[in-house]
Structure 1
Amino acid sequence: MEQFSDQLNIAVVETCGLIAAGIKALFAKQSQYRITFFNSRDEFMQMRAHVPFHGVIFSLSGSREHRRDCLQLFSEIASLQPNMKRIVMVNDTNEAKLITQLSQTIINGVVNKDSPVARFYDELSALLNDSGRAADTNANHWYISNSTRLLSPTERVILRYLTDGYSVSQIASCLERNIKTIRAHKFNAMLKLGVNNDAGLLDAADILRYRNNFL
């Protein structure tokens, strides 16, 4: 595919046309990048074999399945082209915590779609230009803060029981632990994963099982 030598190809996986149009408008005056939009990870992977992409931006829709697609894509890219930048656009800070905790590979940066337009553009540009892992902003240090807060083996076992339908009291009986201890582990897991209710915790646990992260 013909391209200008001074342009960097950036892939954006985005299912929402309005958000795609907004990103296109933000980069309209930026000649350094050539932005190509994809509706799915499969579309991007097909094109990746023919175009030397500098980075890929995955915009999350908020669904569990979409997070799975993002994590799977980033794992594939980390293996095939480890130097390609991997950036996630999230819907809120809780999703930022969740996606970085679940990721098996380094995420170069996380950008919140709720940020003011100017800040959103500045953070995204900084991440694409930065030669390191992520821009030097608090919003993009999730991978640093969470790297030392991985789920403990006990927390993983408890989540596995929860996804199998066990109650807290049943888990306490199986593990021969006090109910308060099991609740404390469950609460710590929720904090680490950035979720604030049982539904969010089960969604995260389901993704972890899908990613074969349980011990």
Structure 2
Amino acid sequence: MMSLSALDIVIADDHPIVRVGVKAFLAEQPIRFRLVGEASSGGELLDVLHSTEHVDVVITDFAMDDGGQDGLRLLRRLRQLYPSIRIVVLTMLTNAALIRSVQALGVRCIVGKRGLHEHLALAIEAAIKDRPFLSPELATLLEETSEAQINSDCEDAQSVLSPRQIETLRFLRSGMKVSEIAAVLNRSKKTISAQKKAAMAKLGLTNDAQLYEYLQNNFER
């Protein structure tokens, strides 16, 4: 049951402009929402939660550049350490398999950043009531992507990527850096970086954190 008092909320995003936007949104509804902490990384978020007396909801970005604290691992830790805190995930993801991976952890309220202000309040309320919420564009993505397609994302990716792009991703999946891959393949760092960026564009990934998540969950070594 939703509390009659304002909900205590912590926000986490590595982009200051997103945090500013979310804070402004919460400030517009002080009777419903109260900001009690903010963080710019997964590590900071865990520190804030440890030091904050009461938190109802965490609103967190899925793909923060956080030196190894990847999105799924962070969500898993939040669920383990703070099972009573509700979680709303903000994301730019367009990969159905990753969205399913988030849901599989029991995090069922996911908001696309493009419709943040329109859908955030609905997602918070759904989280408090332990109900699922997906932004319309994410719901459409899942509806249009069959389970077979989701489960075979690796095969689908390989069908649209060039052999050299696949080769580069396999090396990245193994933990190698761009400079190391360039040395092994006797190519320039610029060439390897270009292959990496082209592969990310084809996969609908916009930053290294999203790429890391994709490789860990949907791409074999």
TM-score (norm 1): 0.59
Structure 2 partner of 1:197:
202
Identify the match of residue 57 of structure 1 among 56, 59, 63.
59
> Which secondary structure state, in structure 1, belongs to the residue aligned with residue 90 of structure 2?
strand
Structure 2 partner of 1:175:
none
Cα displacement (A) at 1:20: 1.7
Cα displacement (A) at 1:9: 1.5
For 1:80-99, what aligned pairs fall within 5 Å after superposition?
Answer: 80-91=81-92, 94=94, 97=96, 99=98
| Aligned residue identity for 1:106 | G
> Which secondary structure state, in structure 2, belongs to the residue aligned with residue 57 of structure 1?
strand
Structure 2 partner of 1:125:
121
Structure 1 partner of 2:6:
7
- Which stretches in structure 1 are left out of the alignment for 5+ residues? 166-194
| Aligned residue identity for 1:132 | D
| Aligned residue identity for 1:55 | V
Q: Deviations over 1:73-121 (max 9, x none)?
A: 1111222333422222223x62x63641443513322222223xxxx33
Structure 2 partner of 1:108:
108
> Which secondary structure state, in structure 1, belongs to the residue aligned with residue 87 of structure 2?
strand
* 2:165 counterpart of 1:164: no
Cα displacement (A) at 1:26: 1.3
Cα displacement (A) at 1:129: 0.9
Q: Are the aligned partners of 2:41 and 2:65 in contact in 1 as well (CA < 8 Å)?
A: no
Cα displacement (A) at 1:67: 9.4
Distance 1:154 1:65 in 2: 25
For 1:128-143, what aligned pairs fall within 5 Å after superposition?
Answer: 128-130=124-126, 131-135=129-133, 138-139=136-137, 141=139
Change (3 A) 1:65 1:15: closer
| Aligned residue identity for 2:170 | D
Q: Are the aligned partners of 2:14 and 2:41 in contact in 1 as well (CA < 8 Å)?
A: yes
Change (3 A) 1:108 1:66: farther
Cα displacement (A) at 1:38: 0.8
Structure 2 partner of 1:46:
47
Structure 1 partner of 2:23:
24
| Aligned residue identity for 1:114 | R
Distance 1:43 1:133 in 2: 27
Distance 1:210 1:137 in 2: 25
Structure 1 partner of 2:76:
75
Change (3 A) 1:56 1:67: farther
Cα displacement (A) at 1:39: 1.3
Per mean C-alpha deviation after superposition, the further-off stretch among 13-22 and 100-109 is 100-109
| Aligned residue identity for 2:112 | N
| Aligned residue identity for 1:27 | L
Change (3 A) 1:7 1:121: same
Distance 2:80 2:73 in 1: 11
Change (3 A) 1:206 1:111: closer
Change (3 A) 1:154 1:141: closer
Distance 1:142 1:213 in 2: 24
Distance 1:137 1:207 in 2: 21
Q: Deviations over 1:155-202 (max 9, x none)?
A: 49x79x85436xxxxxxxxxxxxxxxxxxxxxxxxxxxxx762695xx
Q: Are the aligned partners of 1:110 and 1:139 in contact in 2 as well (CA < 8 Å)?
A: no
